[in-house]
Structure 1
Amino acid sequence: MLSTDHVGAVFFDVDGTLVPGTSSSAYLAAFLGHLDELTAAEDAYARGDMDNRRVSELDAKGWAGVPEEHVPGRLEGLPLVLGITETVSWCRRNGLVPVLATLAWSPVGSYLTDRFGFHAFSGPRLETVGNRYTGRVAHHFDGYDKRDFALAQARALGLAPGSCGAVGDSRSDLPLFASVALSVAFNASAGAREAANVSVESGDLRDTLPALSRLRARL
């Protein structure tokens, strides 16, 4: 439940941030049988040779025919960094609303929101018909959409961007990093580290708390 005395918000990325060393899409692609194709596409995206829209379309094809109910159970084994529960709890105790700002598919955002108590989540959506995925994208989502989602969430919470922080790791986080008061590069690419206010290398999300504490102290 959202406290009425919140003073700020923190937007957390998923792939490469909460999910270390891989992506939730790659984890699910291994189960669905198209990991090699997705890995090549994600590598091309990381090099700047492919845009997020094309990666999403290629990934979505591997979901064709899969029943929606088969996915949540698979996500229980999703690799995650330590300290998510404790970091979300700390944010809520300190009046910072924890939100997922991510390009992960909506079933992933929904699962993590329910499991850890995030306030809301963003992300692209897969098309479904009759409770099965069709292999097509219903709604695309990129790094600028992530920024716009976060700023809309802030407005809905009655907050200015100067009361918000972001924790992320890659190119898709840069528009959001440039729009909030505090940006934390967590196990991040060189570009994200350069753009961020703070850089943290750790397997435990709680190691971002000193930076988040400084944001809280300013509010």
Structure 2
Amino acid sequence: MFSSDPVGAVFFDVDGTLVPGTSSSVFLAGYLGHRDELTEAEDAYAAGAMDNRQVSELDAAGWAGAHVDEVSGRLEGLPLVSGITETVAWCRHNGLVPVLATLAWSPVGSYLTDRFGFHAFSGPELETVGGRFTGQVARHFDEYGKRDVALAQARELGLSPRACGAVGDSRSDLPLFASVGLSVAFNASPGARGAATVAVDDEDLRGVLPSLSRLITSTL
């Protein structure tokens, strides 16, 4: 994993960041049959008209009856930004622990962690019974939970928040942006850009690496 103690950590958002132009939930809702309703709800969340709990409950209802394995198989087609593999490898090579900090459902976080080698993930959970989703939320998780778990993970790694960075694009990243030493707004909303240390627009995630290098030089 790491040849020595890590010098920092980088928390990567998923929806709108690693999954460009949409969310993993909207992608899966297309298969589950409630894409339009969820898209409208996510737009309302972005505008501050709905909270995360409301959106999560609406989305979870659309999963009712779906089989866990069937949904997991659909994640192979999830649209992803280029350069994730290389960015994770760069972080590890330079002593930065790559972690997913996301409001995406846990099957998505688990899939991306296994595929790309992230250190850990956190997020909301869906209730299952007998290998099928019930349509209920087992664990709610909002933007403040995202921040709190990320900071707890930093402490477990022996890192201060100032040694950590966050890469995200939207409202759900703002509490974490305000709590770490470096925040990168990647292909982001105006609100995220205004709250971030730096803004990067790129079709490849490797575009954030020059900004993340500040976390390395700041420890020298």
* 1:5 positional shift: 2.2
Question: C-alpha separation between the residues in 2 aligned to 1:211 and 1:195?
Answer: 15
Question: C-alpha separation between the residues in 2 aligned to 1:133 and 1:2?
Answer: 37
Q: Which residue of 2 aligns with 1:165?
A: 165
* 1:2 positional shift: 5.0
Q: Which residue of 2 aligns with 1:66?
A: 66
Question: C-alpha separation between the residues in 1 aligned to 2:41 and 2:160?
Answer: 36
The more displaced of 19-28 and 3-12 is 3-12
Q: Which residue of 1 aligns with 2:151?
A: 151
> Does residue 1:214 correspond to 2:214, yes or no?
yes
Q: Which residue of 1 aligns with 2:25?
A: 25
Cα deviation digits, residues 186-213 of structure 1 (max 9, x gap): 0000000000000001110000000001
SS of match in other structure, 1:148: helix
The more displaced of 32-41 and 89-98 is 32-41
Q: Which residue of 2 aligns with 1:133?
A: 133
SS of match in other structure, 1:60: helix
Question: C-alpha separation between the residues in 2 aligned to 1:16 and 1:40?
Answer: 16
Q: Which residue of 2 aligns with 1:38?
A: 38
Q: Which residue of 1 aligns with 2:50?
A: 50
Please tell me whether the aligned partners of residues 14 and 102 of structure 1 are also in contact (alpha carbons under 8 angstroms): yes
Question: C-alpha separation between the residues in 2 aligned to 1:5 and 1:145?
Answer: 26
Q: Which residue of 1 aligns with 2:180?
A: 180
Please tell me whether the aligned partners of residues 2 and 119 of structure 1 are also in contact (alpha carbons under 8 angstroms): no
What TM-score comes out, normalization by structure 2 length?
A: 0.98
Question: C-alpha separation between the residues in 2 aligned to 1:78 and 1:14?
Answer: 11
Please tell me whether the aligned partners of residues 168 and 188 of structure 1 are also in contact (alpha carbons under 8 angstroms): yes
Structure 2: runs of 5+ lacking an equivalent: none
Please tell me whether the aligned partners of residues 167 and 186 of structure 2 are also in contact (alpha carbons under 8 angstroms): yes
Please tell me whether the aligned partners of residues 65 and 133 of structure 1 are also in contact (alpha carbons under 8 angstroms): yes
Question: C-alpha separation between the residues in 2 aligned to 1:4 and 1:158?
Answer: 13
Counterpart AA for 2:139: H
The runs of at least 4 consecutive aligned structure 1 residues that moved more than 3 Å come to: 1-4
Counterpart AA for 2:117: G
Q: Which residue of 1 aligns with 2:116?
A: 116
Question: C-alpha separation between the residues in 1 aligned to 2:181 and 2:138?
Answer: 32
Cα deviation digits, residues 77-112 of structure 1 (max 9, x gap): 100101000000000000000000000000000000
SS of match in other structure, 1:80: coil
Question: C-alpha separation between the residues in 2 aligned to 1:42 and 1:176?
Answer: 20
SS of match in other structure, 1:165: strand
Counterpart AA for 2:48: G
Counterpart AA for 2:83: G
Counterpart AA for 1:141: F
Counterpart AA for 1:194: G
CA RMSD of aligned residues (A): 0.8
Q: Which residue of 2 aligns with 1:79?
A: 79
